[in-house]
Structure 1
Amino acid sequence: MTRVYLPTTVDRVRGLVASGSIAADPEPFEADGDDEAAEYAALMSAADASTTLIQGPGRRVVLVAEVADAGAPIALADLVAVHADVADRGVDADPDEDLAWFGVQEIDSLL
């Protein structure tokens, strides 16, 4: 299994909840190795990429999943965590600001 970090948007997460899966497009980020620094780097790269998916103010969202094929659609059951901003950010917000961690069972409250 491979741990992937998929940059996405709140609207796409709503679609994931409704349909049960989400396309791994844009290509998800993978951690190089099993250490925390590599996972954090992959998370923040995905957070940067999610910024380009939102138009204007919005929340960065990164889905974390364990998958057999990094390019295949990601099922809701594959998710292990969600990282997101807790509120909309302005377009001039600090790009290095950390995201909040949410358990998969908290997706509804995140939306």
Structure 2
Amino acid sequence: MTRLYLPASLQALARLHSGAGLSRTGAVEAEDDAEESEYAALLTAAVASAELVGHGKRRVVVVAEVDDGVERVVVADVVAVHVDVEPGAEPDDDLAWFATQEIDRLLEGS
């Protein structure tokens, strides 16, 4: 299993949640299982999300665990979602963690 950090937008998260899935392209992998490596991968994906969504929008990072070789991430692969609490967060602001069960509520509030 590989843990991926996928830069995304709220719209991409909604598509994923509706069953469309997300491409693995652009996903960031941690160098190892160390907490520092996983945090670095999260931050790298957050920067890529900021570039994807544009200034002033909420960054989204989808964390998924997939088998090697899988090219498309589906909602069953998702283990967590990290999102800016407020639009317009600074690049060094931490993202809030959301469990997969909270995705509906997260999307309703977007």
TM-score in terms of structure 1 length: 0.90
Measure, in 2, the Cα distance between the counterparts of 1:44 and 1:107. 20
Q: Report the equivalent of 2:84.
A: 85
* 1:58 aligned onto 2:57: yes
Q: Report the equivalent of 2:35.
A: 36
* 1:94 aligned onto 2:100: no
Given that residues 4 and 70 in structure 1 are in contact (C-alpha distance below 8 angstroms), is that contact kept between their aligned partners in structure 2?
A: no
Matched letter for residue 103 of structure 2: I
* 1:16 aligned onto 2:12: no
Give, in angstroms, the shift of residue 20 of structure 1. 4.4
Matched letter for residue 68 of structure 1: D
* 1:72 aligned onto 2:71: yes
For each residue in 1:33-92, what CA deviation from the matched residue of structure 2 results, as whole angstroms up to 9, or x when unmatched? Answer: 111000000000000000011134210000000011366110100000000001211xxx
Report the CA distance shift for 1:73/1:83 in structure 2 as closer, same or farther (over 3 A): same
Deviates more, 1:40-49 or 1:93-102: 93-102
CA RMSD of aligned residues (A): 1.4
Given that residues 7 and 63 in structure 1 are in contact (C-alpha distance below 8 angstroms), is that contact kept between their aligned partners in structure 2?
A: yes
Given that residues 8 and 53 in structure 1 are in contact (C-alpha distance below 8 angstroms), is that contact kept between their aligned partners in structure 2?
A: yes
Identity, % of aligned positions: 49
The alignment covers a number of residue pairs equal to 107
Measure, in 1, the Cα distance between the counterparts of 2:75 and 2:94. 24
| Runs of 4+ displaced beyond 4 Å | none
Matched letter for residue 91 of structure 2: P
Show structure 1 runs of 5+ residues with no match: none
Show structure 2 runs of 5+ residues with no match: none
Measure, in 2, the Cα distance between the counterparts of 1:55 and 1:31. 24
Matched letter for residue 32 of structure 2: G
Give, in angstroms, the shift of residue 109 of structure 1. 1.0
Deviates more, 1:61-70 or 1:37-46: 61-70
Give, in angstroms, the shift of residue 94 of structure 1. 2.3
